[in-house]
Amino acid sequence: MFKNTITNLGRIRQVVEVLLRYGFEDVVTTTALRRLVPRQRRRTWQHGEQAVFDTSRWERVRMVIEELGPTFVKLAQVLSNRADLLPQALVDEFAKLQSAVPPFATAEAKRIIEAEIGRPLGEVFSEFEDVPLGSASIGQVHKARLLDGTEVVVKVQRPDARDKITTDLHLLRELVKLTGGYLRKQGLSNPQDIVEAFERSMMQELDYTSEARAMEQFRKLYADYQTFYVPKPYRELSTARVLVIEFISGCKITDKDQLLRWHLDPATVAETGMDIYLTQIFEFGIFHADPHPGNVLVRPDGTIVLIDFGMVGRLTKQQKYAFAGVFISMSQQDARGMALNFRRLALTADIRDMRAFEAELQLLIDDFTGLDVKEMSMSALAERLQTIIYRFKLQVPGSVFLILRALVILEGIGKVLHPAFNTFEFVRPYGRRLILEQYSVSNVTTELQYTGQQLLALMYTLPTDLRQIVRKLSKGELRVQAQLSGYLPLLRTAERLVSRGIITLLAVAFLLFSGLSLLGNYPAGQMPYYRGLPAVTWWGLGATSFWLLVLFILTIRKEKN
């Protein structure tokens, strides 16, 4: 424990120095981080030959993330899909981050594989290429051949990946504790929740068996599809740190020249790819969340292949209906319908001004429905939607942003292959289909059954709950807990008024005492006089002056505050 504390302290000092170097002195000086770095260790705010303040604040945030390393880069990439939490300008900067890192030694990769599968490499693979196909912050991929001649790719986790990520996750939690107040002032209302969600995501990514399960699920869902294929994972050869997958040969979906050499119509390939992806979202509710061109391959026969299932998104049935409803309402120019579907979609939707929200959606509708089909852009629409979600603080499922991001990527792919490609034309029929499904007899029956079960459960437990309440009430054991908010300023004001009232009463009391002392009959020689007044009168006037002075000072201080 002590060693981890010392390690974290040293790492936090490094983080603080990076923040200072990139001009985020306010983050340090307004939080508990300021205690960790002496003034003499603060560096000049330069990024290479460029003055830091020649760049925007969001660019400097990206520079800080890049310098802090892979775990922070990974967090920023995750946040780049959450436009409900961050301003769009920062989301755009985070989208530029790349997590590629140099590969580690092949000998070390082989050692890890042998230790994980419990057998020498030669008993599993007849060939194993030393040069990796690619590498990232968590692992790298090698091509190999099984003993039966099947070509595979082997994904191997870096030897120190888990330790480094665990250390950085501890560090992130500490940083959030130290800077939580600052982050909340910047509009990030739940930084601790974000770190916890990211930690769950990272720990899942460190376990390759979850990716293998996702691939098997997709293979079952698309077993009957002739135009779509998912590589086979070899579960018997895979562990949490090693993943063996069937190797698929093909070209990137954006390699238009190769598609033409194979006598494939690029426009048809683009349409097929979009149909497959929309089926994942609107039919199955589980989708590949990172469909960039490197992860979408095309075989010579036109079959589309998805690889790298490390990031998978999911939608519930109700979320599917609400998401489709947003687009259907937009096509019908129904701002109120869009607002209601957004509220259904949101995890929490405490919209203070519903009229302003509907007005903003109406502006969006006016801007986009008046455009020609060729002028409409999924990228522009996604950006506007994300800005509205951020502005009105809607907490929507993270999968929604993964979908919007994926649709933007697919639109880019589509326009490379198909000049007249329009994403909206593909989404519209799926939306209508889902609306019909939502109000189908079978779905309505299912919803009624669920509602009936809930009512029966309530009727079953209600008598018992009422008896318990009555029993506690009769015994005087019923307690009501009320939580008040916003009363502290009122209490402080009341405290000040009471204090001043007491001081005023003291001043008045001494003033009355001074007046009454003039009526006293004092024996000669027992009461000294000064300027014709008894000494006791002067003492009363002095006390009155003192309390009036105190009251005056308190009043002046209040006015200054």
3-class SS string, 94-149: HCCCCCCCCCCCHHHHHHHHHHHHCCCHHHCEEEECCCCCEECCCEEEEEEEECCC
Helix axes 191-205, 70-79, angle to 10 degrees: 110
Helix, strand, or coil (residue 87): coil
Active-site amino acid positions: 290
| Cα separation, 470 vs 535, whole angstroms | 70
pLDDT in tens, the chain (561 residues): 434 444 566 667 677 677 666 656 556 555 666 565 555 544 444 445 444 445 676 777 787 777 777 777 777 776 765 555 667 777 777 777 765 578 889 999 999 999 999 999 999 999 999 999 988 778 899 999 999 999 999 999 999 888 888 888 887 788 777 777 766 666 555 667 667 767 777 788 889 999 999 999 999 999 988 999 999 999 999 999 999 999 999 999 999 999 999 999 999 999 999 999 989 988 888 999 888 888 899 999 999 999 988 888 888 888 888 888 888 888 788 899 899 888 888 877 667 788 899 999 999 888 887 666 566 778 788 888 888 887 887 878 878 878 888 888 888 888 888 877 877 778 777 777 766 766 666 666 766 676 666 666 666 676 776 777 777 777 777 676 655 555 556 666 667 777 777 878 887 887 777 777 776 666 666 677 777 677 777 887 888 888 888 777 777 665 545
* Helix (H), strand (E) at residue 242: strand 242-246
| Contact in structure between 185 and 202 (CB atoms under 8 Å) | no
Helix axes 354-369, 378-391, angle to 10 degrees: 170
- Nearest CA-CA partner of 296 in 315, 270, 278, 258: 270
* Helix (H), strand (E) at residue 429: helix 423-438
pLDDT number for residue 45: 43
State pTM to two decimals: 0.65
Surface-to-core class of residue 473, CB atoms within 10 Å of its CB (0-12 exposed, 13-18 middle, 19+ buried)? exposed
pLDDT number for residue 118: 92
pLDDT number for residue 484: 53
Q: What does R_g of the chain's alpha carbons equal in angstroms?
A: 34
pLDDT number for residue 66: 77
8-state DSSP, 299: -
